[in-house]
A and B are shown apart, each in its own frame.
Chain A
Amino acid sequence: MKTNDAMPAPLTAGVPNPAGAPSSLVICGDYREHDFEHWPRPSELDLARLAAQLARSENIDPKQLVAVAWELYRESCHRLQIDHREVTAYHAQMDRVETELDDAAVVLPQWVPAPKKYPVTHQQVERLLLPQQKGRTAERAGLIREYFFAQLTRAVWWCDRNSAS
């Protein structure tokens, strides 16, 4: 499909790529991160079908219909690229949050009871951290499980369907 003559400026022109690196250095298999030239094209038949769907009467100029269909396709690409960038940014934000949470202090503070020697088993850990629950195995297990659940839900994507932006 020879469309290069009529090809408008790339969609990403003047816009930094999501990673923020110079576009010439980015090697990425995802076409949504590349300029418009690298996006998949509709076939002649696809375009003709889309143009035919736009025809309200037989008198409309086919050239005009195809031009509108082509614009629709381009605008759809544009929208997908914006969406891809937003989703990538969300994922980057999520990764930052996870990294911050994982970089916890590794030095034992004074307020934490220290074992006499290392390594320690989980029973010894529980005796040190939960002295009030001594002998209450089920209660201790319940607390630890709740803690793990809290860890797993420390950063959850929440989709609020009531508020669309």
Chain B
Amino acid sequence: MVRPKLSILNYWEMDRDVLEELRHKMKDNVTRRFEEYRKTVFDAEAYARFAVSFLEWRRRFIAAKKASAARTRWAKEEEKRQAAATAAAKAHAASQKRNKKSLGDG
């Protein structure tokens, strides 16, 4: 049977592109939810639900952001390292060429 594979993904597992597409599609829903939130008066249970859920999400959000920044930093450093290694290899090749030439002249 040919059926595209269906799976349940969440906010943390999605690719950035998919997330951005969803963000665009759900813009109105988010706005509606935000407006509802601003009208809400929280009793003890509502506050507990919201606070626990929000703080857990925020902790993970900050960790994910830090991890993403570290990945970007590492990628940039790796790029620099590679560029430096290439430049060193080129310089080495050039100096060898010069050495050969000077030996030949001598």
Contacts and interface: CB of A to CB of B under 8 A. Distances in A.
Please classify the interface of chain A as helix (H, G, I), strand (E, B), loop, or mixed, using the class held by over half of its residues. mixed
B40 to A, nearest CB: 6
Interface string A90-125: 100110010000001111110111010011111001
B47 interface: yes
Given A106-B49, A144-B34, A148-B33, A119 B3 contact: no
A39 interface: no
A128 B52 contact: no
B50 interface: yes
Given A159-B4, A163-B5, A164-B2, A153 B19 contact: yes
Given A120-B42, A157-B6, A159-B4, A152 B29 contact: yes
Contacts of B61: 146-147, 150
B7 A149 contact: no
Given A159-B4, A163-B4, A165-B1, A147 B57 contact: yes
Contact of A125 (B18, B50, B57): B50
Contacts of B10: 153-156
A129 B41 CA distance: 15
A134 interface: no
B11 A118 contact: no
Interface in B1-25: 1-11, 14, 18-19, 22-23
B91 to A, nearest CB: 44
Given A105-B52, A109-B52, A165 B34 contact: no
Nearest to B46: A119
B2 A112 contact: no
A141 interface: yes
A164 B30 contact: no
Nearest to B56: A104
Interface of A: 79, 82, 86, 90, 93-94, 97, 104-109, 111-113, 115, 118-122, 125, 128-129, 141, 143-161, 163-165
6 contacts: A120-B42, A122-B42, A148-B34, A150-B57, A158-B8, A165-B1
Given A120-B41, A153-B26, 11 more contacts: A82-B1, A94-B8, A104-B52, A106-B45, A107-B48, A128-B51, A146-B61, A151-B57, A153-B22, A160-B5, A165-B5
Q: What 7 pairs between A and B have smallest CB-CB spacing?
A: A150-B11, A108-B48, A158-B9, A148-B33, A119-B41, A160-B5, A163-B5
